[in-house]
Amino acid sequence: MIDMSPNLVLVVAIGVLFAAGVYLLLERSLTRVLIGVILIGNGANLLFLVAGGAAGRPPIVGRGSGPMSDPLPQAMVLTAIVITLGMTAFLLALAYRSWQLHRHDEVQDDLEDRRIARLAAVDLLATRDTDIDVAGATLDEEAELARDETDEGVVVGGDLGGTDHARGEGGRPHASGDGPGGDAP
């Protein structure tokens, strides 16, 4: 009879991988989320292999004697590796793009998260659609005060070196009096 009891060291390793992966997955930094996804993927791979039982002979009918190993856990591990690789590539692309735009990879709170957190703190129903929080500020007022990182580096009201709307092509005033800028002095 085949011994189907799992190795205690592997079970503890699976628990540690899943615990550390979930902890890192709940962080705001995309690199920590990426490491968490990788750890959870490795924990799932180990779980499939431990659940598959003891190793046996190759699963080819008619070859050798003794019990065959189950090919299903091996196929599940290969599938899990491919899924983890795809998630890793996607999260790496997100972290890289975030680093290019903002020079950090932290995910920011949005206004809806803040509203729900405030409603939960005062134990109000989140389904009430009032747009007014406990302090009296509306979401529109809060949006004006919120830091929007997509606006960093944008010159507001400045000339970017091309054409100016009040002037003609190349920064020269319009020749006719009917265009923007009127008669040039």
Best mean pLDDT range from 44-48, 109-113, 128-132 = 44-48
What is the average pLDDT value for the chain, to the nearest integer?
Answer: 75
Tens digits of residue pLDDT in 121-162: 777 555 555 555 455 566 666 666 666 555 555 555 544 444
50 against 147, higher pLDDT: 50
> Which of 109, 152, 112, 155 has its CA nearest to residue 133?
112
Residue corresponding to tokens 């990788």: 38
Sign for the pseudo-dihedral over CA of 40, 22, 30, 91: positive
Which ranges in 26-145 belong to alpha helices (H)?
Answer: 30-51, 71-102, 111-121, 139-145
Tens digits of residue pLDDT in 11-41: 999 999 999 999 999 988 889 999 999 999 9
Domain 8-56+70-102 has CATH 2.10.109.10: no
Query: What does the domain layout of the chain look like in residue ranges?
Result: 8-56+70-102, 111-146
Please classify residue 133 by burial: count the beta carbons closer than 10 Å to its beta carbon, then call 0-12 exposed, 13-18 middle and 19+ buried. Answer: middle
Residue 70 pLDDT greater than 70, yes or no: yes
pLDDT at position 92 is 92
Q: What is the distance between the alpha carbons of residues 45 and 99, in angstroms, rounded to a whole number?
A: 30
Structure tokens at 156: 């507001």
Q: Rounded to two decimals, what is the model's pTM?
A: 0.58
Structure tokens at 105: 């990879």
